[in-house]
Structure 1
Amino acid sequence: MSEALQELIAIAGRHARGRRTKTAIPRVSIGRSEVPTPPLPELCLPTALFVLQGTKSVLIGDRALRYDAASYFVYAVEAPATSRLIEASAARPYLAIGFALNVEAVAALLVDHKPPAGDDFMTCPISDDLLDALRRTLRLLDRPEEIPVQPIDG
């Protein structure tokens, strides 16, 4: 396990307060569970979800996806799904970081940068560069005074 992933697990573990915790960083939440769950229906909102520890499965339509530690998935649109936590325990809780997406920004990216043809949904491993960016972002939770929110003049 990489040093960056170990640090992310430690930070997320310190700041998680229940199943889903909103953080002081706008649009960022931490998911935590110490127990596996049965399949549960949910509405997946536009989010980038990064699994740090544990395993989760999601069924969207007829597509079954599995998120393992150090993998991520992007929901660019709302989608009904059934999800379940497969691996979670008190000693090694399921931990994930969610970034709520701005749908208008995603739409603009899709117009400017055509996505490759292929699967509509897939999980991907988190690269070392992305892990480092996540680590630097979550470190702000230990230094909340460095999370200023600047108003946007419009």
Structure 2
Amino acid sequence: MQDLSNLAEMIARHTDGDGVLATAIPRLSLVRMSKQTEPMQGLQQPALCIIAQGRKQVLLADEMFEYGPARHLIASADLPITGQVVGASPDEPYLSLKLDLDLSVLGAMMLEIRPQPISLVPTKSCGKALCLSNTDPKLLEAALRLVRLLDHPDDIPFLAPLAEREVLYRLLRGDQGEKLRRMLMPDSRLAQVNRAIAWIRQNYDKPFSIDRVAEEARMSTSSLHEHFREVTAMSPLQYQKQLRLQEARRLILSEALDAASAAHRVGYDSPSQFSREYRRLFGAPPIQDVSRLKTGPAAYAPASA
């Protein structure tokens, strides 16, 4: 508990106001929110998220993940999610860190680390690419050592890679270590689904057939349907739809496109279909939704972390 308190103190000290802070340590971000937020959609990339204070809900399709200081979240694929801070106040703000997973370092470490004996490998591991785990004290200690380097900027180039490596080592030795290994093994189901995800992300604005995605994933179509849903909690077409709608929202918000132009840009032929699906995902039609985001940005937290 002392390490958790120390981590919260470090995050609070290195965040100036609400929002997400990219730090001087590569791949490490800190998040602070002083009040509960509205749901916010986004794309969660492979990462470790540790909450030091407060609580958060993450929605993957229809599956809800809620966690706080005693647990952490690991994402092992690019996933469209909805995040909402549900435990925060000015006196006790939501404080968390997000460490994007360096897959090249993880892959090299996987080859170096001898697998644990079968009898010692934890048996409880969720099948989704988004999973919650209890935070082991050794993982918490390693994360705290990494964040403490923010107090010593001159040490970061030399010591941050070592501290990050320790965090990744603890993940590989933890109860989701086998999932991370499968993510990096080219013939595993998770790696095959990740290939399908990568192809859909590159071609989200174009029509595609399930056969084409299955070919890219090196799977049969029936196997792709089964394992894609197992990993992401949605079908490939549902995944594409969420990517399209999130990109359309970004275009309307950041490039001031009208709804029809944004819909066409992301691959919709029917503006009315786009409007219906946009409202279903974001809870309001495009103009109303974007106006809400512009007038009350402080109420919206990032989906990840």
TM class, shorter-length: 0.7 to 0.9
Q: Quick one: structure 1 residues 146 and 102, their matched pair in 2 at CA, closer, same or farther if it must change by over 3 Å?
A: same
User: For residue 50 of structure 1, what is the aligned residue in structure 2?
Assistant: 50
User: For residue 119 of structure 1, what is the aligned residue in structure 2?
Assistant: 127
Displacement after TM superposition at 1:103 (Å): 3.7
| Code of the aligned partner of 2:6 | E
1:76 and 1:106 in contact (8 A); partners too:
no
Deviant stretches of 4+, over 3 Å: 103-110, 115-118
1:133 paired with 2:132, answer no
Mapped partners of 2:107, 2:154: distance in 1:
32
Mapped partners of 1:118, 1:8: distance in 2:
27
TM-score (norm 2): 0.45
Name stretches of at least 5 consecutive residues in structure 1 with no aligned partner.
none
Q: Quick one: structure 1 residues 37 and 148, their matched pair in 2 at CA, closer, same or farther if it must change by over 3 Å?
A: same
| Code of the aligned partner of 2:155 | E
Displacement after TM superposition at 1:107 (Å): 6.2
| Code of the aligned partner of 1:99 | L
User: Cα RMSD (Å) of the superposition?
Assistant: 2.4
Q: Look up the SS of the partner of 1:69 in the other structure.
A: coil
2:75 and 2:131 in contact (8 A); partners too:
no
Mapped partners of 1:55, 1:118: distance in 2:
21
Question: Relative CO higher for 1 or 2, CA cutoff 8 Å, sep ≥ 6?
Answer: 1
Structure 1 residues 95-106: aligned runs within 5 Å: 95-105=95-105
Instruction: Say which structure is richer in strand.
Output: 1
- Of 6-15 and 68-77, deviating more is 68-77
Instruction: Say which structure is richer in helix.
Output: 2
Displacement after TM superposition at 1:36 (Å): 0.4
| Code of the aligned partner of 2:7 | L
Q: How high is the sequence identity, in percent, across the aligned residues?
A: 31
| Code of the aligned partner of 1:136 | R
2:72 and 2:134 in contact (8 A); partners too:
yes
Mapped partners of 1:4, 1:106: distance in 2:
25
1:54 and 1:92 in contact (8 A); partners too:
yes
Cα deviations across residues 5-61 of structure 1 (Å, max 9, x unaligned)? 111111110001331001111110101100101111111122110011100001111
Structure 1 residues 50-129: aligned runs within 5 Å: 50-105=50-105, 109=110, 118-120=126-128, 121-129=130-138
User: For residue 21 of structure 2, what is the aligned residue in structure 1?
Assistant: 21
TM-score (norm 1): 0.85
| Code of the aligned partner of 1:7 | N
Displacement after TM superposition at 1:122 (Å): 2.2
Q: Name the count of aligned residue pairs.
A: 148
Name stretches of at least 5 consecutive residues in structure 2 with no aligned partner.
116-121, 160-305
Mapped partners of 1:39, 1:63: distance in 2:
14
User: For residue 3 of structure 1, what is the aligned residue in structure 2?
Assistant: 2
Mapped partners of 1:59, 1:106: distance in 2:
26
User: For residue 157 of structure 2, what is the aligned residue in structure 1?
Assistant: 148
1:53 and 1:70 in contact (8 A); partners too:
no
Q: Quick one: structure 1 residues 7 and 65, their matched pair in 2 at CA, closer, same or farther if it must change by over 3 Å?
A: same
| Code of the aligned partner of 1:15 | H
